[in-house]
Amino acid sequence: MKHLLKLLDLSSEEIINLLDLADQLKYDLKHGIPHPKLKGKTLGMIFQKSSTRTRVSFEVGMYQLGGQALFLSTNDLQLGRGESIEDTARVLSRYLDGIMIRTFEQSLVETLAMYSSIPVINGLTDFSHPCQVLADLMTIREFKGKLEGLKLCFIGDGNNMMNSLIVGGLKTGMQVSVACPERYMPDPLVLEFAAEYGDKFSLYHSPEQAAADADVLVTDVWASMGQENEIEERKKAFAGYQINSEIMKIAHPNAIVLHCLPAHKGEEITHEVFEEHAAEIFEEAENRLHVQKAVMVTLMA
């Protein structure tokens, strides 16, 4: 593994190895066992979109590993004034030991990686959110003791989260079912990948059908970053694509609920279901820290 650009690039074994290392790093942290595996190393973090979890967990994670992180907003970088991503990659590779980037187009992250001589980590694009889904898999394993054979259901937009959960779920042996409106389907590349898994993957337009007997229910906002101007039409299209008490009755009685956050309660999830499942949702947020430390150690140590 040279970079973390999207889960499609990782083997099942690489994913499981990251989750195992994340569990170990979580154990070490909770037991006060020092783990300065990236002493003296620096991670650059380029943000073209807002962030609470990604920014703070990468920065704190780097600190706990004995290294440091630099927050680089595109407003401040020459990238924001038109310097090319290719040149930015070649310059930053001379100073840093790794780059995390949150941006719009997946192709920008792929180009950055192509021109960098150091590891590149995708901190979210419009296409994928691999760090989040690794944290989700870690959380599912913690609550359910396994991944293989579980049914994962995502209800909502065919966005970066749905794309990555389909890939991460199938690669780790889960059955994956998703429900989205016809106009908001997952990426064709992901559907092509999922087609190889036969009846392990199902796509519905009905949330009720998708949720039947699910062990894990996941949702995300109806309008992602950069789509704020579409919110009114999206509210109409996504009405009913909600995790609520009715959906919970259709899912397995012991189903857990995940949300990458930030949540728009009352839209994709009700206040009631969110609070009933806050234990899972905030463990999931915490696990961003542990799993990203595992990613950084794997790529940068």
Residues with catalytic function: 102, 129, 132, 220, 260, 288
By CB under 6 A, residue 292 contacts ligand NVA: no
Q: How far apart are CA 268 and CA 61, in angstroms?
A: 30
Region near ligand NVA per CB under 6 A, out of 25-33, 34-42, 85-93, 220-228: 220-228
Write down the least CB distance from residue 204 to ligand NVA, Å.
Answer: 20
- What is the spatial distance between Cα 177 and Cα 93, in angstroms, rounded to a whole number? 40
Asked if residue 160 binds ligand NVA (CB under 6 A), the reply is yes
Does 219 participate in binding ligand CP (rule CB under 6 A)?
no
269 binds ligand NVA (CB under 6 A): no
Q: Determine the interface stretch with ligand CP among 52-60, 73-81, 192-200, 292-300 (rule: CB under 6 A).
A: 52-60
> What per-residue string of b and e applies to 155-167 under the rule 16 or more CB within 10 Å gives b?
bbbbbbbbbbbbb
- CB 48 → ligand CP: shortest distance, Å? 12
Are the C-beta atoms of residues 44 and 92 closer than 8 Å to each other? yes
| Site for ligand CP contains 54 (CB under 6 A) | yes
Query: 98-127: which residues touch ligand CP (CB under 6 A)?
Result: 124
Residue 261 binds ligand CP, judged by CB under 6 A = yes
In sequence order, what are the beta bridge partners of 72? Answer: 46
Copy the structure tokens of residue 262. Answer: 């930030």
Tell me which of ligand CP, ligand NVA, none is bound by residue 242, counting a contact when its beta carbon lies within the kind-specific cut-off of 5 to 8 angstroms.
none
**Tokens describing residue 172:** 């780790």
SS3 assignment, position 108: helix
Residue 201 has phi, psi (to 5 degrees) of -120, 135
d(CA 238, CA 94): 46
Could you give the CA distance from residue 282 to residue 176 in angstroms, rounded to a whole number?
23
Q: What is the distance between the alpha carbons of residues 61 and 292, in angstroms, rounded to a whole number?
A: 7
Among 88, 132, 175, 270, interactor with ligand CP by CB under 6 A: 132
Rank residues 38 and 133 by Cβ distance to ligand NVA and give the closer one.
133
Interface with ligand CP (CB under 6 A): 51-54, 124, 132, 260-261
Interface with ligand NVA (CB under 6 A): 124, 159-161, 220-221, 224-225, 260
